A and B are shown apart, each in its own frame.
Chain A
């Protein structure tokens, strides 16, 4: 690392814009939201080789974007190696108080929390599920210790942030257990979350989906009823993330699932159409409606619904699951499906973000 630059004038607002937080952060963030992960790798590499990063926190933030980009591009081993180069997240090298000239009267860890998250998730993506889960549970412990610390020091804003992180890690864990069909653990974890936090209709709906997945249809209906009641009673406690349209669509989609499981595809389609009417970018409604059409023997319309979505709202519709479904439909509808899949594949190559997994077209 170069000689650290002198501190900024303390009277200047250090938090006016993203670029105040790190060197050209706004540009990094812009590239990330556009899915231009390869450009991010280039930018980081350039900044490093031209010594444009003067401060330790700049290095860490650039490393975070780099590791995230590598992960997005499914270069998991490279991402892992880069993370390992830090050796120890808790080293004093990464603490504000180690550089009092740069960060006067600031103490604590300057490691961006996403690094800890990526560190836990990478082994799972590399096929070492046990290691990843261990890391997630250790991370959960770590977060909880931080919460206790901040609470005892009355650091309100920090407590809020760390509690958000606790919530985040728990959600990650539910996802990983769900992927491995460890349903009992999932149910325990998600019920815990629901009981401890404000009543979250999205979370309760997801409880319903898990119940449905394991065949507990009565349980699922119960969960969906809870959500609908919350909508009807106007339960929006402000910390909910749902706008009204989103909330209504959630309720309709839950209803549609119940119809779908009962093989009443016509009613399911009707519910999804209500959603799409309210929000033409409701991709879950669009995708699931297409499947219902197919299960009603209307393969042609199911294909049209998905193709239409890709054309109208590509940034929302271009997702691997939707494409997998569309390709399955092509394989069923066309004897010579390779041609039409290739057309789709070419279009995707032009429009998709760098992290789109094109193997889903099976071309």
Chain B
């Protein structure tokens, strides 16, 4: 990532991006010795139930004994949550990583004297060079570093708010007197690319977006003012209030919706259905029962809550697609709601995660087959 000029230099730059560190996570192979010494059902035996615990407790470390010079903690659980492999240990960024518009570029810069002689009067500069401009981050011209001894180092940390996309170069230069008294010039270049974190499509004048990434590292963007058509408020608004967190295959479930009338006149009556798209794709989540649901009129500026009775016919991640409301009297349909993804599970399991999962159907009779 760095390029230098030809010729021998006493000095060299070492650079490391200092984004926030992250928590180390790695679930380990650490166990409770009970789960190794004896069969899993041994405590059903009353003799074992009374005699084993005292024996076992002497082999489970209850408190960290710093005079314990073994590697026991690498294989025994000290606290139950050790199984998570997430102790709060922080790890330095191991690669440059991605850097996005709106973030702050922070870097540790170390200038090392790897020669056997002192160098003197070191003028150090660090700049960011982009297509459009050169931004000075550090300049010791006014007070040069008097000396860096043989084997010594001079460190600094620079920060820069990234406001441009594309290629950036961190240019580090040192002007110094080497051991022979020659005035030397060392430039080093470290390239990186700034990407766009988000694609923003808006219907308002400007959008200000802030976010936090790793360990709360902030980022912010503001779009330019957008001159476009002013917003037309919708006449009616349909929104989903609640979907059950656990939806079972082939079992009806209720979705709680609200219909709001934003106009100054009574509207309706309405019909709600799951409409077909142009490709006539088969739906895996359907209305259970009559395929259209009737709703009575809604007063001016009023709203009504209702439940759609749905049923899912396939496992895994499915879509509730195109919930559409139509006004029967004015004979018009409004735009359908965006699709909602839900996870469909088999009722016999107690599975608590739903998304991006692939479920296998396993025979859950009295035996569990491990190679099923």
Scan B14-55; emit 1 where CB is below 8 A from any A CB, else 0: 111010111111110101111111111111110111111101
B10 to chain A, nearest CB (A): 10
* A189 in contact with B352 given A21-B37, A60-B39 (CB within 8 Å): yes
Q: Are B88 and A284 in contact (CB under 8 A)?
A: yes
Q: Are B20 and A209 in contact (CB under 8 A)?
A: no
Q: Are A175 and B84 in contact (CB under 8 A)?
A: yes
19 A-B pairs whose Cβ atoms sit less than 8 Å apart in the complex: A14-B47, A33-B72, A72-B29, A88-B371, A112-B35, A112-B39, A113-B34, A156-B49, A165-B35, A168-B77, A185-B353, A206-B84, A209-B23, A215-B212, A216-B212, A241-B80, A287-B89, A291-B90, A297-B156
> Quick one: which of B36, B68, B108, B350 contacts A332, CB cutoff 8 A?
B108
Q: Are B44 and A108 in contact (CB under 8 A)?
A: yes
Q: Are A299 and B34 in contact (CB under 8 A)?
A: no
Question: Which segment, of B213-221, B291-299, B326-334, faces chain A?
Answer: B213-221
List 20 additional A-B contacts (Cβ < 8 Å) besides A88-B371, A288-B89: A34-B70, A35-B75, A57-B38, A112-B35, A113-B35, A114-B36, A164-B32, A168-B32, A168-B83, A179-B26, A213-B23, A217-B212, A217-B216, A241-B78, A243-B63, A243-B64, A261-B216, A288-B88, A291-B90, A315-B70
List A residues 78-130 near B (Cβ within 8 Å).
Answer: 84, 87-90, 94, 96, 105-114, 116-119, 121, 124, 130
Q: Are A321 and B24 in contact (CB under 8 A)?
A: yes
List A residues 1-50 near B (Cβ within 8 Å).
Answer: 13-18, 21-22, 25, 29, 32-35
Which residues of the partner chain A approach B255 to less than 8 Å between Cβ atoms?
none
Q: Are A134 and B359 in contact (CB under 8 A)?
A: yes
* A284 in contact with B87 given A35-B71, A105-B45, A213-B215 (CB within 8 Å): yes
Determine the residue in chain B with the shortest Cβ distance to A21: B37
> Quick one: which of A150, A160, A209 contacts B86, CB cutoff 8 A?
A209
Q: Are B81 and A203 in contact (CB under 8 A)?
A: yes
Judged by a CB distance under 8 angstroms, whether B1 is at the interface is no
B134 to chain A, nearest CB (A): 24
Which residues of the partner chain A approach B63 to less than 8 Å between Cβ atoms?
243, 246
Q: Are B42 and A106 in contact (CB under 8 A)?
A: yes
Question: Which segment, of B163-171, B195-203, B360-368, faces chain A?
Answer: B360-368
Q: Are A333 and B85 in contact (CB under 8 A)?
A: no
Complex Cα gap A22–B357 (Å): 41
B184 to chain A, nearest CB (A): 16
Scan B282-324; emit 1 where CB is below 8 A from any A CB, else 0: 0000000000000000000000000000000000000000000
Judged by a CB distance under 8 angstroms, whether A200 is at the interface is yes
Which residues of the partner chain A approach B38 to less than 8 Å between Cβ atoms?
21, 57, 61, 112
Determine the residue in chain B with the shortest Cβ distance to A83: B370
> Quick one: which of A121, A124, A140, A158 contacts B44, CB cutoff 8 A?
A158
Q: Are A108 and B359 in contact (CB under 8 A)?
A: no
Q: Are B87 and A96 in contact (CB under 8 A)?
A: no
Complex Cα gap A15–B21 (Å): 48
Complex Cα gap A192–B22 (Å): 25
Judged by a CB distance under 8 angstroms, whether A266 is at the interface is no
* A333 in contact with B62 given A110-B39, A284-B88 (CB within 8 Å): no
- Chain B residues engaging chain A, CB cutoff 8 angstroms: 12, 14-16, 18, 20-27, 29, 31-45, 47-53, 55, 59, 62-64, 66, 68-92, 94, 108, 110, 112, 114, 153, 155-157, 211-217, 349-353, 357-360, 362, 364, 367-371
Q: Are A209 and B66 in contact (CB under 8 A)?
A: no
Judged by a CB distance under 8 angstroms, whether A295 is at the interface is yes
Give the 6 A-B residue pairs with the shortest CB-CB distance, closest first: A108-B41, A215-B212, A110-B39, A175-B27, A157-B49, A175-B84
Q: Are A16 and B41 in contact (CB under 8 A)?
A: no
> Quick one: which of B41, B50, B89 contacts A158, CB cutoff 8 A?
B41
Q: Are A157 and B216 in contact (CB under 8 A)?
A: no
Determine the residue in chain B with the shortest Cβ distance to A56: B39
B218 to chain A, nearest CB (A): 8
Which residues of the partner chain B approach A61 to less than 8 Å between Cβ atoms?
36-38
> Quick one: which of B36, B359, B371 contacts A112, CB cutoff 8 A?
B36
List A residues 258-298 near B (Cβ within 8 Å).
Answer: 260-261, 279-281, 283-284, 287-288, 291, 294-295, 297-298
Complex Cα gap A335–B111 (Å): 9
* A333 in contact with B153 given A90-B368, A177-B353, A316-B73 (CB within 8 Å): yes
Which residues of the partner chain B approach A25 to less than 8 Å between Cβ atoms?
37
> Quick one: which of A107, A110, A279 contacts B64, CB cutoff 8 A?
A279
> Quick one: which of A33, A88, A241 contacts B370, CB cutoff 8 A?
A88
> Quick one: which of B66, B76, B88, B357 contacts A205, CB cutoff 8 A?
B88
Complex Cα gap A133–B354 (Å): 12
Q: Are A188 and B352 in contact (CB under 8 A)?
A: yes
Q: Are B51 and A130 in contact (CB under 8 A)?
A: no
Q: Are A336 and B114 in contact (CB under 8 A)?
A: yes
* A172 in contact with B23 given A72-B29, A110-B42, A138-B362 (CB within 8 Å): no
Judged by a CB distance under 8 angstroms, whether A151 is at the interface is no
Complex Cα gap A188–B367 (Å): 29
Which residues of the partner chain A approach B359 to less than 8 Å between Cβ atoms?
134
Which residues of the partner chain A approach B86 to less than 8 Å between Cβ atoms?
174-175, 178, 206, 209
B372 to chain A, nearest CB (A): 9
Q: Are B367 and A90 in contact (CB under 8 A)?
A: yes
